[in-house]
Amino acid sequence: MTTKRPTLDDARAVLRAKFGFPDFRPGQERAVQSVLEQRDTLVVLPTGGGKSVCYQVPAMVLPGLTVVVSPLISLMKDQVDALTTRGIPATFVNSTLTSGEVSERMSRVMRGEIKLLYLAPERFDVGTAAERLRGVGVSLLAIDEAHCISEWGHDFRPSYLRIAQVREKLGWPQVVAHTATATPHVRQDIARQLRLENPETIITGFDRQNLRYHVVPTRTDAEKDAALAAILREHEGVAIVYASTRRNVEKITRTLEQEGIAAAAYHAGLDDAHRHAVQDAFMNESVRAIVATNAFGMGIDKPNVRVVVHHAMPGTLEAYYQEAGRAGRDGKPSEVYLLHAFPDRFTHEFFIKGAYPERPLVEKVYQRACTLADKTGAVSLEPASIAASLPGKVSDREVESALRVLIQAGAIRSEPESGGRVFVRLLATPDRIKRELGASRALELGLLRALWRVAGDALNDGAPIDLDGLPPGFGGAVGTMPLLAELERGQFLEWRRLGGGEHVTNPRRPLSAFPYDWSALERRRKNELSKLDAVQQYAYATGCRRGFVLRYFGDPAAGKDCGGCDNCLGTHDDTRRQKVAPSPKPGEKRKARGAARDKARREPVELVASPADAQLLERLRALRTRISKEEQVPAYVVFPDRTLLEIAVRRPKSPYALGEIRGVGPAKIDKYGERFLELVRTSDETEAA
pLDDT (tens digit per residue) in 4-34:
789 999 999 999 998 888 899 878 999 999 9
Q: How confident is the model at residue 473 (pLDDT cuts 50, 70, 90)?
A: confident
Beta bridge partners of 242: 292, 310
Predicted local distance difference test score (pLDDT) of residue 599: 41
Q: How confident is the model at residue 35 (pLDDT cuts 50, 70, 90)?
A: very high
Q: What percent of the chain has pLDDT over 70?
A: 89
Buried b (16+ CB within 10 A) or exposed e, 175-194: bbbbbbbbbeebbebbbebb
Task: Determine the average pLDDT of the residues in 122-132.
Answer: 80
Q: Are 145 and 72 in contact (CB under 8 A)?
A: yes
CA distances to 226, 437, 465, 488 from 451, rounded to whole Å, are 73, 15, 8, 14
Assess whether pLDDT exceeds 70 at residue 576: no
Task: Determine the average pLDDT of the residues in 505-514.
Answer: 88
∠ Cα 641 245 546 (to 5°): 45
Q: Are 177 and 51 in contact (CB under 8 A)?
A: no
Q: Are 278 and 300 in contact (CB under 8 A)?
A: no
The segment with the largest mean pLDDT, out of 247-256, 407-416, 598-607, is: 247-256
Q: Which residue type sits at 439?
A: A
pTM > 0.85: no
Q: Are 357 and 271 in contact (CB under 8 A)?
A: no
Predicted local distance difference test score (pLDDT) of residue 362: 92
Q: Which residue type sits at 509?
A: R
Residue 14 C-beta-side C-alpha neighbours within 13 Å: 20
Q: What is the 3-state secondary structure (H, E, C) of 406-420?
A: HHHHCCEEEEEEEEE
Assess whether pLDDT exceeds 90 at residue 208: no
Assess whether pLDDT exceeds 70 at residue 632: yes
The segment with the largest mean pLDDT, out of 219-228, 392-401, 569-578, is: 219-228
Assess whether pLDDT exceeds 90 at residue 517: no
- Backbone CA torsion sign across 72, 74, 80, 86: negative
Q: How confident is the model at residue 91 (pLDDT cuts 50, 70, 90)?
A: very high
Task: Determine the average pLDDT of the residues in 446-475.
Answer: 86
Assess whether pLDDT exceeds 50 at residue 141: yes
Predicted local distance difference test score (pLDDT) of residue 583: 46
Assess whether pLDDT exceeds 70 at residue 106: yes
pLDDT-wise least confident of 84-98, 146-160, 576-590, 665-679: 576-590
Task: Determine the average pLDDT of the residues in 618-640.
Answer: 85
The segment with the largest mean pLDDT, out of 363-372, 416-425, 609-618, is: 363-372
On average, the pLDDT of the chain sits at 83
Task: Determine the average pLDDT of the residues in 651-666.
Answer: 80
Predicted local distance difference test score (pLDDT) of residue 575: 44
Beta bridge partners of 177: 42, 143
Q: Are 39 and 198 in contact (CB under 8 A)?
A: yes
Predicted local distance difference test score (pLDDT) of residue 574: 54
Q: What percent of the chain has pLDDT over 90?
A: 25
pLDDT tens-digit series, residues 278-328? 888 888 889 999 998 876 655 466 889 999 999 999 988 888 988 898 898
Predicted local distance difference test score (pLDDT) of residue 418: 60
Predicted local distance difference test score (pLDDT) of residue 288: 93
CA-CA distance, 182 to 614, in Å (whole number)?
Answer: 26
Predicted local distance difference test score (pLDDT) of residue 65: 95
